[in-house]
Amino acid sequence: MAYVRPFDPWRSTSLCTCPFKYTVNPYTGCSHGCLYCYASSYIRDFFNPRPKKDFLKVVYGDLRRIPEGSIVNISSSSDPYQPLESKYGYTRRFLELAVGRYVVEVVTKSDLVARDADLLARGQSVVSVTITTMDNEVAKRLEPGAPPPSRRVKAVERLSEAGVPVVLRLDPLIPGLNDSEDSVREVVEAAVGAGARHVVSSTYKVKPDNLARLLKAFPELEPRLRKLYFEGGDRLHGYVYAEKSYRYRVLSTVREIAHGLGATFAVCREGFYDLIDRGVSCDGTHLARGRGAHAGEARPG
């Protein structure tokens, strides 16, 4: 049994442009209840989260087999800072083992991550904070168990002040819900204003279960989603992608806004290589690797 494993869910460089990395999930499942969640389609009882059995004992052995300097992602399927972390502290304990030996990439939509700013600042670390909207009412319906956007922005600020590079993850963009230029600009301005230096974005990918949840909460989206996904979309790696021209257009808008605010930009799982800035990795790990020299030397281009 191993909990720290190679990360290669797509088995395809045409979509995933991340550098090679390992990933670990301290918890199975997640309590954020995000309607668009992809992991719920392949993890049993996903919205009933639980800690991994013997987590610390297993990962201690796992890390002994992983070369120092490797990238380790926390987490790829469940939020490492969901409320269970306040009880078990597995994420913090893992960071104590990993920071300073590995390039650590944290992905979360919880402000609890700011608790560990002191630890993350000790090594090559980067934190991606997911913010999909600054509209509190939309966020409550879309991500009912997650902290409100304002708290996530505050976490970006606290991490940045501690010297931890932060990435804004504007993902997913959902047609007719949070993909307008005004909505995108509001999110990017808030995050970059708080210290985020890199923006990564992608569009909503349809799975039967996440579509059912989304349309139950936002039934008015059905006509547009049906047109973009089921009339003009593409089936890729088990997901239904929106029409290619739509995806390129909306992601280009995010890129333009990010550049206007001085941030670098990349897309995630979209295949549009020309939208990824030179010298950056889509996951933001270039910022972690650059620490100690001039982190974030890459510029919009």
The closest of 83, 81, 104, 101 to 91, measured between CA atoms, is 81
The Cα 78–Cα 5 span in angstroms is 15
User: What is the structure's pLDDT at 285?
Assistant: 96
* pLDDT tens-digit series, residues 186-203: 999 999 999 999 999 999
When pLDDT is averaged across residues 87-114 and rounded to a whole number, the result is: 98
* pLDDT tens-digit series, residues 200-215: 999 999 999 999 999 9
Question: For 172, left (φ over 0), alpha (ψ -120 to 50), or beta?
Answer: beta
User: What is the structure's pLDDT at 163?
Assistant: 97
User: What is the structure's pLDDT at 294?
Assistant: 33
Domains of the chain: 5-289 (3.80.30.30)
With the C-alpha atoms ordered 207, 55, 10, 102, is the resulting torsion angle positive or negative? positive
* pLDDT tens-digit series, residues 55-94: 999 999 999 999 999 999 999 999 999 999 999 999 999 9
Label residue 18 by pLDDT band (50, 70, 90). Answer: confident
pTM score above 0.85: yes
Answer yes or no: are the C-beta atoms of 193 and 161 closer than 8 Å.
Answer: no
Label residue 297 by pLDDT band (50, 70, 90). Answer: very low
Label residue 11 by pLDDT band (50, 70, 90). Answer: low
